[in-house]
Structure 1
Amino acid sequence: MTLIATASAPTRDAANVKAASSSSFSAGMKVLPRPQRTAMYAVYGFCRIVDDIADEPGPPMAAREAALDAWRGHVRALYAGGDPGPAAMLAHAVANYGLAEVDFQAVIDGMGMDLAGLRGPDLATLDLYCDRVASAVGRLSVRIFGMDETPGRALAHSLGRALQLTNILRDIDEDADMGRLYLPAELLTKAGILTRDPAEAVRDPRLGSVCEALAECADAHYRAAEAVLAGKPRGRLAPPRLMAAAYGGVLEGLRRRGWATPRAKVKVNKTRLLWQVARETLFG
């Protein structure tokens, strides 16, 4: 993917659908009515573009920083009534669902943190990162789902962090290969792991206690999200329930597998997810 998207609107829409269909969130999106599904595809497409900018290995750092800055400008222009350039892909979702500019900017800032490289961030920095790259997306999503402000923001806060911490635990080795170590400094130090070199840290036999402590934190966020959903607030609740089921299953699988090397990949249990989709479709 190029650093700055320039495709026409129909091409962008098709690319958004294709990208979302191959993601772990596809089941949650597919149960939405078409207008909300289209809005979610646009948000997902935006997230994929800026995420690719941060992760694309070829271009120099300065070029990728400039590309993220350009997207900040495109989003500002969209809300200011100027020429939004490729951010036009978000125009209908913003207009129809009152999405907040600050949340799109937060996502870009989170990708900037990725680009700068995180190596054993302190807990506060890790929480900020999770808020930007995941809970901000949740705040955009719950508006599209039609949730009220208070339960919507509470759900975005907890479920976003649960999903992102699960991602971090799932992708420890892949992130280390990219020079990134998201495991928090306080937990690493408590385990006696003083290095912040990603390749060294993820090979340390004491890593299991760090991962298990972070898994417990993720589990607490899943429980908080479930408490919000159990209250049956207004809105389309099937997508967040499906996301929680999918990623909660991954977290369970990671804990059953254990944290010692070599770490086999753990994926979404498709049978379990299909059952949850059927349940939500019939009874949600």
Structure 2
Amino acid sequence: MSATAIPAAAEATALPAAGSSFYTAMRLLPPERREAMYAVYAFCRSVDDVADDGGAREVRAAELDRWRADIDALYAGNPAPRVEPLAGPVKQFGLKRQDFQDVIDGMAMDAVEDIVAPSEQKLDLYCDRVASAVGRLSVRIFGMPEEDGIKLAWHQGRALQLTNILRDIDEDAERGRLYLPLEKFQAVGLKHPTPQSALTHPRLAEVCAGVAAEAQAHYRATWEIIGRNSRSATKAARLMAGAYSLYLDAVVKRGWQAPRARVKPGKLSLIGVALRHGIV
């Protein structure tokens, strides 16, 4: 992403990259639900840009506070221009203010410090805020029943975020970040991991295998919930779960010994996921 946050005029029209799993999944939604998801995506992308590339830490913190105020104003009926595209989805789909605020709080975790080997509790909170909170917004737009929708967001958000963490360990280390949990490093004898010491540790594979096993358990729970709900309401969730499972399989198959090549599932495999899950 660019070194500066997206200008306000662009936030309302920001779209996911064509060809991405998210783009494919959202394109298959009915128009009103698709446009609502694009508005949520634009919000998430904008606050993510602030957290990652928004300048000095105090500048990023101040801008995230402005986003918090904008969300509060949106729910008070006085939306700022950059959140106005969310007004319709909030009303139509009953989106919760706290979920938007949770997303901002998750981005703030990256903005206030470089996360390095968080506790498992902190990592789970991070996953809930940056991924499952987005899921809670999404399942309401998808039209899922409340109870199963919240459960799906809980499991799928963690599955996708843990997949991202395993896929991006080298890129994150270049930023001075390490999202793999402290307890797993301590179990293999590394008491105070840094990004460099962790990624060169001879037992890194054990740490990553443990995180991968947790992600796989969340995928299994995700598919169980999807299986008992209508295909129309779970179409996007099925596509995302199917595609991201391929990413997880690919990094596990590649292994963890350096140098770790960037992996991407084959095009035919992704097409297979789209054909299998993209048709109601």
TM-score interval (norm. to shorter): over 0.9
Q: Confirm or deny: 8 A CA contact 1:242 1:273 kept in the other structure.
A: no
Q: For 2:275 and 2:152, locate their aligned partners in 1 and report how far apart those are by CA, in whole Å.
A: 23
Question: What is the SS of the residue equivalent to 1:267?
Answer: coil
Q: Confirm or deny: 8 A CA contact 2:162 2:211 kept in the other structure.
A: yes
Report how many aligned residue pairs link the two structures.
277
Q: Determine the structure 2 residue equivalent to 1:80.
A: 76
Q: Kindly state the Cα deviation for residue 275 of structure 1 after the two structures are TM-superposed.
A: 2.0
Q: Kindly state the Cα deviation for residue 96 of structure 1 after the two structures are TM-superposed.
A: 1.4
Q: Confirm or deny: 8 A CA contact 2:11 2:46 kept in the other structure.
A: no
Q: Kindly state the Cα deviation for residue 92 of structure 1 after the two structures are TM-superposed.
A: 1.6
What are the Cα deviations for residues 18-69 of structure 1, in whole angstroms up to 9, with x where unaligned? x34354311111111111111111111111111111111x611111111111
Matched AA of 1:185? L
What are the Cα deviations for residues 172-215 of structure 1, in whole angstroms up to 9, with x where unaligned? 01111111111101001001122332122112121110000000
Q: For 1:174 and 1:192, locate their aligned partners in 2 and report how far apart those are by CA, in whole Å.
A: 24
1:197 aligns to 2:194 (yes or no): yes
Q: Determine the structure 2 residue equivalent to 1:238.
A: 235
Question: What is the SS of the residue equivalent to 1:237?
Answer: helix
- Out of 225-234 and 42-51, give the one that drifted further: 225-234
Matched AA of 2:204? L
Q: Determine the structure 2 residue equivalent to 1:35.
A: 32
Residue from 247, 253, 257 that aligns with 1:256: 253
Spell out structure 1 runs of 4+ moving beyond 3 A: 1-5, 11-14
Q: Confirm or deny: 8 A CA contact 1:151 1:228 kept in the other structure.
A: yes
Q: Percent identity?
A: 49
- Out of 200-209 and 219-228, give the one that drifted further: 200-209
Q: Which runs of 5+ in 1 are unaligned?
A: none
Residue from 45, 52, 67 that aligns with 2:63: 67
Q: Determine the structure 1 residue equivalent to 2:8.
A: 6
What are the Cα deviations for residues 50-99 of structure 1, in whole angstroms up to 9, with x where unaligned? 1111111x611111111111100100100011243411121121121110
Q: For 1:110 and 1:269, locate their aligned partners in 2 and report how far apart those are by CA, in whole Å.
A: 31
Q: Determine the structure 1 residue equivalent to 2:272.
A: 275
Matched AA of 1:190? A
Give the TM-score normalised by structure 1.
Answer: 0.93
RMSD between aligned residues? 1.6
1:25 aligns to 2:22 (yes or no): yes
1:104 aligns to 2:100 (yes or no): yes
Give the TM-score normalised by structure 2.
Answer: 0.94
Question: What is the SS of the residue equivalent to 2:257?
Answer: coil
Matched AA of 1:124? Q
Q: Kindly state the Cα deviation for residue 234 of structure 1 after the two structures are TM-superposed.
A: 7.5
Q: For 1:20 and 1:143, locate their aligned partners in 2 and report how far apart those are by CA, in whole Å.
A: 23
Q: For 2:199 and 2:41, locate their aligned partners in 1 and report how far apart those are by CA, in whole Å.
A: 30
Q: Determine the structure 1 residue equivalent to 2:143.
A: 146
Q: Which runs of 5+ in 2 are unaligned?
A: none
Q: For 2:169 and 2:185, locate their aligned partners in 1 and report how far apart those are by CA, in whole Å.
A: 14
